């Protein structure tokens, strides 16, 4: 009996496995979760942070630190590494040192922050039910008992401040409540205007020290990519110019290492999936389209339902006539709301939502008249219609509209 014929699926998997050996030597180093031990071009930030935190090794309380810089400039990576090193050092010298790292996109209420802090020093708190003051007291007492130096990292701290400025105030004042232990706060943000919006009392205590992460230049991004590429790929897989192109794009996007690394990863995955033997500039260009598309879909998907309804109204309006105005959008929007049983917001609120969509770059809204009915604007979708449709179709309430005839 001969060999069983291979199914298409087998062939796909075979091709994938062959390609893996052809292109990637170690694809993990390109994963968004991988952080190399050495971060090129960040020695000086490493040093700045280490110098401020060093007093912890002698039992002193380091100053609170405010770190800012645009996205993808290594703030999170550097901070985590310095703290891990500091902890290692403290342990080898039998010094009491603890730290908590939290991302305030998820840990965004004073309750969550305190619960996380408690968990990190090993005390259990019930998920809900306790009053904030009670948890605060619990944490304070437990920390004091440990007689330790504690560093709390609040990454994306602007998210926490927006929802609960009080927790930031409480944390930055905590030392005056502690008797044996000491706590330092590191707040990180990529929102360049955040500092101005801070309550002056919090600003002065949070930013006792400041570290600014400047955008990477194209040359620096080149080195960062070259370091990864050397481990990730077999020899001579990358066509000349691929790394340069990925770094140039990252440099244009506010010196963003994440964007450059994403491009290199997606480009090489595209090459692999295609069964190609090299990664070329063409793959990078295609990867750029894929990434941009994904960002648009991500932004649209995360819009609140009312904003999505407005977006749907714009989408449907554009399908019907060449030029649509705020008035047209409102009419369609009201119909949509009736049909899917959403509250109908006032024209003013819908105007605000239209402005928000404009600010996000999803539409353009140009003032055309200031008649009796207030300002009217001409509206255009600036993102591909296909993606808008795709996102609305994945919303179980709004998707129904596409099946209805009466609109
Ligand atoms: N100097 C560097 N060397 C190598 N990789 C780096 C370097 N800087 C950043 N990276 C990588 O780039 C990505 C983004 O870095 P990181 O998450 O630290 O940025 P960030 O400044 O915290 O951005 P955000 O403000 O969006 O949170 C990570 O995958 C990180 O490993
Ligand atoms: Mg970060």
Q: How far apart are CA 109 and CA 124, in angstroms?
A: 18
* Nearest listed ligand to the Cα of residue 70: 1
Contact present, 184 and 208 (Cβ < 8 Å):
no
Q: Among the CATH numbers 1.10.443.10, 1.10.10.10, 1.20.1050.140, 3.30.420.40, which is that of 303-403?
A: 1.10.10.10
User: What pLDDT band is residue 138 in, cutting at 50, 70 and 90?
Assistant: very high
How does 104-113 read in b/e, with b if 16+ C-beta sit within 10 Å? beebbebbbb
pTM assigned to the model: 0.79
Give the Å distance between the CA of 128 and the centre of ligand 1. 34
Of the candidates 287, 296, 288, 294, the one whose C-alpha atom is nearest the C-alpha of residue 388 is 296
Give the Å distance between the CA of 258 and the centre of ligand 1. 6
User: What pLDDT band is residue 249 in, cutting at 50, 70 and 90?
Assistant: very high
For CA atoms 110, 114, 120, 126, give the dihedral sign.
Answer: negative
Q: Give 13-51 pLDDT, tens digit per residue.
A: 776 666 556 899 998 999 888 999 999 999 999 999 999
CA distances from 314 to 167, 347, 360, 383, 385 (A): 40, 14, 15, 12, 10
User: What pLDDT band is residue 79 in, cutting at 50, 70 and 90?
Assistant: very high
CA distances from 75 to 158, 194, 249 (A): 14, 16, 20
Mean pLDDT of 142-170: 93
pLDDT of residue 20: 54
* Nearest listed ligand to the Cα of residue 75: 1
User: Coil, helix or strand for 100?
Assistant: strand
pLDDT of residue 106: 85
Instruction: For residue 197, count other CB atoms closer than 10 A to its CB.
Output: 12
Q: How far apart are CA 316 and CA 322, in angstroms?
A: 11
What the block records as the tokens of 342 is 């959403």
Q: Does domain 43-213 have CATH number 3.90.320.10?
A: no
Q: How far apart are CA 304 and CA 267, in angstroms?
A: 32
User: Residue 130, Cα to own-chain centre: how many angstroms?
Assistant: 31
More confident residue, 157 or 11: 157
β-pair partners for 24: 233
Report the atom number in ligand 1 closest to the C-alpha of 213: 21
What's phi and psi for 226, nearest 5 deg? -60, -40
In percent, the amount of the chain with pLDDT more than 90 equals 70
Give the Å distance between the CA of 394 and the centre of ligand 2. 29
pLDDT of residue 1: 45
What the block records as the tokens of 407 is 């609109």
Contact present, 403 and 310 (Cβ < 8 Å):
no
pLDDT of residue 57: 87
pLDDT of residue 214: 96
Mean pLDDT of 244-261: 95
Q: Give 353-378 pLDDT, tens digit per residue.
A: 999 998 888 998 888 876 665 678 99
Q: Is the CB of 74 under 6 A from ligand 1?
A: yes
**Is pLDDT above 80 for 95?**
yes
Mean pLDDT of 142-152: 95
Of the candidates 113, 87, 90, the one whose C-alpha atom is nearest the C-alpha of residue 174 is 113
Q: Is the CB of 190 under 6 A from ligand 1?
A: yes
* Nearest listed ligand to the Cα of residue 192: 1
Q: Whose CA is nearest to atom 27 of ligand 1?
A: 71
Give the Å distance between the CA of 73 and the centre of ligand 1. 5
In 190-334, which ranges are E strands?
209-213, 324-325
Mean pLDDT of 52-67: 91
Q: Is the CB of 77 under 6 A from ligand 1?
A: yes
pLDDT of residue 406: 62
More confident residue, 46 or 109: 46
Give the Å distance between the CA of 77 and the centre of ligand 1. 6
**Mean pLDDT value across the chain:** 90
Domain range 8-28+216-299, CATH architecture: Orthogonal Bundle (1.10)
Of the candidates 281, 196, 292, the one whose C-alpha atom is nearest the C-alpha of residue 247 is 281
**Is pLDDT above 80 for 404?**
no
Q: Whose CA is nearest to atom 9 of ligand 1?
A: 74
More confident residue, 293 or 216: 216
Enumerate the domain spans of the chain: 8-28+216-299, 43-213, 303-403
Q: Whose CA is nearest to atom 2 of ligand 1?
A: 39
Q: Is the CB of 43 under 6 A from ligand 1?
A: no
Give the Å distance between the CA of 188 and the centre of ligand 2. 8
Q: Give 283-322 pLDDT, tens digit per residue.
A: 999 999 999 888 889 999 999 999 999 999 999 998 887 7
DSSP code for 216: P
């Amino acid at each position: 009996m001969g060999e069983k014929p291979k199914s298409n699926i087998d062939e796909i998997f075979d091709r994938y496995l062959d390609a893996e050996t052809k292109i990637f030597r170690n694809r993990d180093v390109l994963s968004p979760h991988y952080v190399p031990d050495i971060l090129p071009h960040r020695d000086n930030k490493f040093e700045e942070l280490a110098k401020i935190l060093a007093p912890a090794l002698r039992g002193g309380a380091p100053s609170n630190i405010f770190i800012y810089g645009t996205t993808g400039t290594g703030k999170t990576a550097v901070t985590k590494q310095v703290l891990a090193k500091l902890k290692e050092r403290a342990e080898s010298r039998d010094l009491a040192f603890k730290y908590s790292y939290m991302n305030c996109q998820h840990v965004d209420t004073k309750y969550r922050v305190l619960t996380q802090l408690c968990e990190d020093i090993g005390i259990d708190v019930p998920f809900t039910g306790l009053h904030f003051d009670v948890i605060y007291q619990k944490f304070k007492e437990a920390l004091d008992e440990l007689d330790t130096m504690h560093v709390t990292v609040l990454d994306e701290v602007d998210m926490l401040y927006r929802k609960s400025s009080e927790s930031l105030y409480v944390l930055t004042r905590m030392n005056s409540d502690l008797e044996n232990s000491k706590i330092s706060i590191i707040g990180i943000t990529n929102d360049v205007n955040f500092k101005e919006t801070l309550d002056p009392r919090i600003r002065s205590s949070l930013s006792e020290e400041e570290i600014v992460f400047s955008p990477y230049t194209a040359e620096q991004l080149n080195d960062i990519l070259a370091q990864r590429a050397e481990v990730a790929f077999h020899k001579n897989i990358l066509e000349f110019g691929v790394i340069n192109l990925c770094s140039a794009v990252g440099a244009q996007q506010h010196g963003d290492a994440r964007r450059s690394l994403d491009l290199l990863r997606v480009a090489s995955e595209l090459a692999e999936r295609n069964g190609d033997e090299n990664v070329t500039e063409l793959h990078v260009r295609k990867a750029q389209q894929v990434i941009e598309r994904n960002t648009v879909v991500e932004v649209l998907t995360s819009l609140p339902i009312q904003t999505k309804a407005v977006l749907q109204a714009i989408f449907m309006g554009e399908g019907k006539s060449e030029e649509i105005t705020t008035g047209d959008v409102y009419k369609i929007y009201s119909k949509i709301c009736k049909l899917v049983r959403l509250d109908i917001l006032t024209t003013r609120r819908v105007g605000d939502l239209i402005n928000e969509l404009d600010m996000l770059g999803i539409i353009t809204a140009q003032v055309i008249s200031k008649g009796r009915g207030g300002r009217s604007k001409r509206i255009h979708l600036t993102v591909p219609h296909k993606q808008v449709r795709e996102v609305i179709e994945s919303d179980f309430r709004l998707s129904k509209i596409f099946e209805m005839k009466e609109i």
